[in-house]
A and B are shown apart, each in its own frame.
Chain A
Amino acid sequence: MMDETHDLTRDAATAGGSAAGATRSQERLEDAPRQWRSLEDLAGSPEVRELVEREFPEQASEWDDPKGRRQFLQLMGASLALAGLARCSEPLGEKIVPFVRQPEDYLPGKPLRYATAIRLGHTTHPVLVTSTLGRPSKIEGNPEHPESLGATNVFTQASLLTLYDPDRSKTVTNLGGIRPYSDLLGVIHEAAQAQRAAGGAGLRFLTAAVTSPTLAAQIQDLLRAFPQARWHRHEPVDDDHALDGARRAFGQPVEARLHLDQADVILALDADFLGAGPGQVRHAKEFAARRRVTAEAADLKDAPVTMNRLYVAESMPTITGSMADHRLRVRASDVATLARAVAAGLGIAGVARPADIPRLAEADLAATLGVPGANRPASVPGVSEAQLAGLIQDLRKHGARSVVVAGPAQPPDVHALVHAMNQALGSAGSAVTYHPPADEAAVSAASFADLATDMGAGRVQMLVILGGNPVFTSPIDIAFGERLAKVGLTIHLGLHDDETAARCQWHVNEAHDLESWSDVRCPDGSVTILQPLIEPLYHGKTAHELLAAFTDRPLRTSAEIVKEYWSTRMPGGDFDKRWRRALHDGVVEGSGRPALPVSLRGGLGAQTPDAAASSAGELELVFRPDASVYDGRFANNGWLQELPRPITKLTWDNAAILSPATARRLHLQSEDMAQLNVGGRRLRVAVWVLPGHADDSVTLHLGYGRDRVGRVGRHAGFNAYAVRSAAARWIASAVRLEPTGGRYPLSVTQEHGSMEGRPLVRHATLTHFREHPDFAREMEETPPADLTMTPPVTYEGHAWAMAIDLAACTGCNACTIACQAENNIPIVGKEQVKVNREMHWIRVDRYFEGAMDAPEIYHQPIPCMQCENAPCEQVCPVAATVHSSEGLNDMVYNRCVGTRYCANNCPYKVRRFNFLQYNDFTSPTARLLFNPNVTVRTRGVMEKCTYCVQRINAARNVAEVESRAIRDGEIQTACQQVCPSDAIVFGDLNDPSSRVAKAKAQPRNYGLLSSLNTRPRTTYLAALKNPNPDLKDQA
């Protein structure tokens, strides 16, 4: 495919060349490896040509469609009539409702912030939540907590929307009928009495991960009261393999905690440590700190290299893979072979070992690792011998400054090997430390399989499911839903009326984390107290309260339970003071747990590998948690559903993801329907072809195809759980994928606003950068500043500007969703995304470069560039977008008449138009969600990034009242605040000591499409990679 289209592509690049006169840059373009955004783009297909030539494809479809048109006219007529009435006089009858007794410290108009935490499976994010007039309106990271350092990720940001989800479960139900909670208390009391006689032999508790010390203690108390009762755990996305691996290596279940700032060389074995999951934010902070090269051009040649080097072996490209200096395209089941080869390589005799590697006797290492005759690395499919040798050499050279990490999908065997490697390298204790798992259930609870057996045998009379959705997420071969019918009494506590709620007799609506008192152990071992930001919207209950129903004090509130637990556990006197301190800081003082000392057990090699690698040519299926819906719990979250998945840029669906070669072999194309056959279980899925994916492998993300979900998640994607069995929870081998005919439209944002192969993301290797510091600026000509018709503007006072460091940006999407939360940005739905009408003010563009099989991947967040010569301003007929005295392109919604000329004239395609009424003005809870400091836009209005002007104004007002200047760093835009890798810097360009001015003084700084003379205020620092010089010719 590549060969056939190559010439065509070259032609397209020349024909669609850049602005007239820029011949130099054009020539350079011809030489440069062309960047492309999708297979169709590369192929220059007519559809793509048409797409890029049209600003809004199929615009005004409502108008063209006769049915839609009639409805449109009706709506139009109605709104005009209303407008006429409404404009006669200003709205009357608005009330002001003051307090009766005003709380101290409460100032109307000033938001308050509270420290709490948001839980996700066995991981936790400590946050500060902004409360506006008593309702939580924005979530930010807790800057004083080491697990957050002020940043957050997409799930944490979007959990705010889950709180206000109008489809949340609102009542206690019994067999579908609404019942009061007191009825359930009666039922529980009676059943518990009956169980007490038998010691609780028929009583089972099923939880998801339990990171709350109070909840764990409550369960343990209950197990003492009912000695025959059992506690089981089911978490669809767990780290059981890692814990098992640790058991094998160290004899105890410990969690490995990375400290990437301590590592010069990182080898990730199928580990997406920068992706959405445990530790993401901390990993990104520490990783990015070692990617930024800030030395001045003059000193570059002598400056010490601080940049780390990342090797990633993975099947589907992840954002971690896109940051890799060497990405090894390896099937998930072959990663174990690679791990063994690297482990063997670390024990090779004859290579001079640097002194800082501990002198583990070579014979010992070989015995420990169980690699017989490891004189030469074994061959690994997808990895050349030179690559392997270079990788091993690099690891050995950096010794204790290098670290190996394995992903949760890899078998325990690989985790054990990784532990052994880190011990051998000497990085254990520095770049990786070992801690007891935060999830108490992972250690104390019995397995889910045992519960299923007991249920099948009829030994369970009463089952209490605390959170989670096991009917949907449990392995398909267990048939948990059917087994539930054999249980006498089933009670489910959950946020949604989901598949599990439907199969249980009783369902209790759960309180959201932002409505609950609880506590949680963070991955670093410290404890954060969860405090509610709002009274439960639907009188939801917490797990603490439901468990209290089994005791003789059934009506205790979770506040009482949590406080009582801690009253004896906070060291030192004056509990109340310490309690308030813990609530204020967001961490219980002295609750952290130090790293555990571990020692490697011998005889690792004696164990047989967990899973043999699939034979070549055989298709394997890899399950992954989704970057948006995770395990399915966020399926009804519109922000996440519409967030383009990293790398694929898919929205609203999942798909079976294949490499181009495999797709060709199976006669499949993107959007084709196909049938997956996994050990006799069948699933019809849509196909998406992704460059860089490993051959003979299919990736399918979990959490889609929900059949009992709210209005947002309905009809979204395909249910991967339907083919996920207990034996193959992560990797299923011997899979068949056959075309069934038929197409399935997938909404991707990939082609939107394509920028036609101009040097957009500029990048170089570290070596090249040190020799040519100005490489980024030289890639495009910037016309002289006076080459413009608009009169020059001098910016007295402030000149706001932004710099985005592409060397640090991991493409995690957190900025997009933080912006959505901050700026009241609506979602538009799958069909509207299909016609390019998504509303994100900051998008993350993704570019492939190089060979289609193993391309390099770059990310580029694109907010409004706030051009000094702004093309949008020149064409607005009603002056709805105008230049401010501080350099912003102000967008004035109340003036906008919706001509869309500005969007047409914007070379960066960052303006978004409300084609329809996207914002939800009707749902009562949706109105609680809005940020009151940003206008909620209606249909017919253009909008775009404002540099969070509401935050600028708020900071200015405070500074003016205090008669001082605005301090550098005082204003953080929403995208900057959330960024886990600190890639975005915002500030005042007129202050030479500001961080942004310094960033822009870097030689890597360049403006996007600078040849157009738009003089953007948002600029980029060119991306850098640090490949191993010994592997120069290797991909």
Chain B
Amino acid sequence: MPQIFHPSTNTIARVSLFGALFLVGGLLWVLVTVQRSSFTTRQGVPVTQPIPFSHQHHVGGVGLDCRFCHTSVETSAFAGIPPTQTCMVCHSQLWKDSPTLEPVRESYRTGVSLQWNRVHNLADFVYFDHSVHVAKGVACLTCHGHVDQMPLVYKNASLQMEWCLECHRHPEKYLSPKEAVFKMTPPAGATSSDGAELVKRYNVRTRTDCSTCHR
């Protein structure tokens, strides 16, 4: 009986088998990479807004404190988006004829709210509380990055669970003294051993129970 397969079939079979393994592995790698890329997470992608509000100008230039606008960051889960009234504190005097600011004035005139595009959007099954993080010495900059250098705000971190857990497991690396929370300085724990001291001082515990964030 003649051979059905040519001897080269052996090689093809071996290559296909190994190739399939690599292909599967490669596909998995692609999936994981895409999942963590800014294509999925929108990390570092500026979000357009109805008014090109510049944090770079207002924080970096003018030097406004974060809490001037985000008033409830120390007391509530939600940091707070300022009402039109807050804008008009200054802009009824400054740039009061600027066409860029017309939507703000219109909102103030008509009583219809401005609609901002959300930048940091957690999944609905995740519950995050600003107040407790601020109280424990997690600086704004630690998560939100240098907003004082962002003309349009973008997400500085991926907001994926592994990113959350990194800090929840090793809080000492990411804490700042409370007086520096609203300053644009990197966390003390990142560079020195002060972090461990802060963990003790602020009674910070590593919280990795699922129900800490999911419920």
Known A-B contacts A100-B108, A108-B72, A110-B75; the reply to A90 vs B211 at CB < 8 A is no
Known A-B contacts A99-B113, A882-B210; the reply to A89 vs B135 at CB < 8 A is no
Kindly state whether residue A72 has any CB partner on chain B within 8 Å.
no
* Min distance, Cβ B138 to any Cβ of chain A, angstroms: 12
Q: Is there contact, CB below 8 Å, between B41 and A95? A: no
Kindly state whether residue B117 has any CB partner on chain A within 8 Å.
yes
Residues of B within 8 A of A957 (CB): 77, 129, 131-132
Which among B1-9, B13-21, B120-128 touches the partner chain?
Answer: B120-128
* Min distance, Cβ A128 to any Cβ of chain B, angstroms: 20
Known A-B contacts A890-B210, A894-B125; the reply to A89 vs B131 at CB < 8 A is no
Kindly state whether residue B163 has any CB partner on chain A within 8 Å.
no
Q: List 14 A-B contacts (CB under 8 A).
A: A91-B121, A98-B81, A98-B116, A100-B85, A100-B113, A101-B85, A884-B210, A894-B214, A933-B215, A936-B124, A949-B211, A953-B211, A957-B131, A957-B132
* Min distance, Cβ B51 to any Cβ of chain A, angstroms: 12
Query: In the complex, which residue of chain B has the Cβ closest to the Cβ of A101?
Result: B85
Q: Is there contact, CB below 8 Å, between B118 and A884? A: no
Kindly state whether residue A594 has any CB partner on chain B within 8 Å.
no
Known A-B contacts A98-B114, A882-B210; the reply to A935 vs B42 at CB < 8 A is no
Residues of A within 8 A of B136 (CB): 960
Residues of A within 8 A of B209 (CB): 884-886, 888, 890
Q: Is the interface of A mostly helix, strand, loop or mixed?
A: loop
Residues of B within 8 A of A21 (CB): none
* Min distance, Cβ A365 to any Cβ of chain B, angstroms: 63
Q: Is there contact, CB below 8 Å, between B211 and A884? A: yes
How many A residues have CB within 8 A of the partner chain?
Answer: 43
Across the A-B interface, the 7 shortest Cβ-Cβ residue pairs: A109-B78, A109-B76, A884-B209, A99-B83, A109-B77, A102-B83, A98-B81
Residues of A within 8 A of B164 (CB): none
Kindly state whether residue A993 has any CB partner on chain B within 8 Å.
no
* Min distance, Cβ B165 to any Cβ of chain A, angstroms: 14
Q: Is there contact, CB below 8 Å, between A96 and B81? A: yes
Query: In the complex, which residue of chain A has the Cβ closest to the Cβ of B212?
Result: A953
Residues of A within 8 A of B121 (CB): 90-91, 94
* Min distance, Cβ A727 to any Cβ of chain B, angstroms: 56
Kindly state whether residue A712 has any CB partner on chain B within 8 Å.
no
Contacting B at CB under 8 A, from A932-983, are 933-936, 946, 949-950, 952-953, 956-957, 960-961, 963
Query: In the complex, which residue of chain A has the Cβ closest to the Cβ of B206?
Result: A885
Query: What CA separation (Å) do A935 and B75 show in the bound complex?
Result: 23
Pick the contact of A935: B40, B41, B112, B124 (CB < 8 A).
B124
Kindly state whether residue A787 has any CB partner on chain B within 8 Å.
no
Query: What CA separation (Å) do A957 and B134 show in the bound complex?
Result: 11
Residues of B within 8 A of A886 (CB): 209
Q: Encode B201-215 as 1/0 by CB contact (under 8 A) with A.
A: 001010001111011
Known A-B contacts A110-B75, A961-B135; the reply to A890 vs B211 at CB < 8 A is yes
Contacting A at CB under 8 A, from B52-92, are 72, 74-78, 80-85
Residues of A within 8 A of B129 (CB): 953, 957
Known A-B contacts A95-B118, A892-B210; the reply to A101 vs B83 at CB < 8 A is yes
Pick the contact of A95: B82, B112, B115 (CB < 8 A).
B115
Given contacts A100-B84, A890-B210, 6 further A-B contacts (CB under 8 A): A91-B121, A100-B85, A108-B72, A885-B209, A890-B211, A936-B124
Residues of A within 8 A of B205 (CB): 797
Kindly state whether residue A893 has any CB partner on chain B within 8 Å.
yes
Pick the contact of B76: A99, A108, A892, A946 (CB < 8 A).
A108
Residues of B within 8 A of A949 (CB): 211, 215
Q: Encode B147-187 as 1/0 by CB contact (under 8 A) with A.
A: 00000000000000000000000000000000000000000
Kindly state whether residue B99 has any CB partner on chain A within 8 Å.
no
Residue with the greatest number of chain B CB neighbours at <10 A, chosen from A107, A882, A952 = A107
B residues within 8 Å of A by Cβ?
39-42, 72, 74-78, 80-85, 107-108, 111-118, 121, 123-125, 127, 129, 131-132, 135-136, 203, 205, 209-212, 214-215
Query: What CA separation (Å) do A90 and B41 show in the bound complex?
Result: 7
Known A-B contacts A949-B211, A960-B136; the reply to A98 vs B77 at CB < 8 A is no
Q: Is there contact, CB below 8 Å, between B132 and A100? A: no
Pick the contact of A100: B40, B83, B117, B214 (CB < 8 A).
B83
Residues of A within 8 A of B127 (CB): 933, 950, 953
Q: Is there contact, CB below 8 Å, between B80 and A108? A: yes
Q: Is there contact, CB below 8 Å, between A961 and B113? A: no
Query: In the complex, which residue of chain B has the Cβ closest to the Cβ of A950?
Result: B215
Pick the contact of A893: B112, B132, B214 (CB < 8 A).
B214
Kindly state whether residue A97 has any CB partner on chain B within 8 Å.
yes
Query: In the complex, which residue of chain A has the Cβ closest to the Cβ of B159?
Result: A90
Query: What CA separation (Å) do A93 and B116 show in the bound complex?
Result: 10
Query: What CA separation (Å) do A826 and B76 show in the bound complex?
Result: 29
Query: In the complex, which residue of chain A has the Cβ closest to the Cβ of B129?
Result: A957
Residues of A within 8 A of B84 (CB): 98-101
Query: What CA separation (Å) do A91 and B118 show in the bound complex?
Result: 10
Kindly state whether residue A88 has any CB partner on chain B within 8 Å.
yes
Residues of A within 8 A of B78 (CB): 108-109
Contacting B at CB under 8 A, from A332-365, are none
Query: In the complex, which residue of chain A has the Cβ closest to the Cβ of B121?
Result: A94
* Min distance, Cβ A696 to any Cβ of chain B, angstroms: 53
Residues of A within 8 A of B123 (CB): 90, 894
Residues of A within 8 A of B135 (CB): 960-961, 963
Query: What CA separation (Å) do A712 and B173 show in the bound complex?
Result: 55
Residues of A within 8 A of B215 (CB): 933-935, 946, 949-950, 953
Q: Is there contact, CB below 8 Å, between B118 and A96? A: yes
Query: In the complex, which residue of chain A has the Cβ closest to the Cβ of B108?
Result: A100
Q: Is there contact, CB below 8 Å, between A98 and B83? A: yes
Contacting B at CB under 8 A, from A856-892, are 882, 884-886, 888, 890, 892
Residues of B within 8 A of A961 (CB): 74-75, 131-132, 135
Residues of B within 8 A of A797 (CB): 205
Known A-B contacts A93-B117, A884-B210, A935-B125; the reply to A110 vs B76 at CB < 8 A is yes
Query: What CA separation (Å) do A228 and B121 show in the bound complex?
Result: 65
Q: Encode A397-415 as 1/0 by CB contact (under 8 A) with B.
A: 0000000000000000000
Query: What CA separation (Å) do A803 and B81 show in the bound complex?
Result: 43
Q: Is there contact, CB below 8 Å, between B214 and A892? A: yes
Contacting B at CB under 8 A, from A78-131, are 88-91, 93-102, 107-110
Q: Encode A270-311 as 1/0 by CB contact (under 8 A) with B.
A: 000000000000000000000000000000000000000000
Pick the contact of B125: A91, A99, A893 (CB < 8 A).
A893
Q: Is there contact, CB below 8 Å, between B72 and A109? A: yes
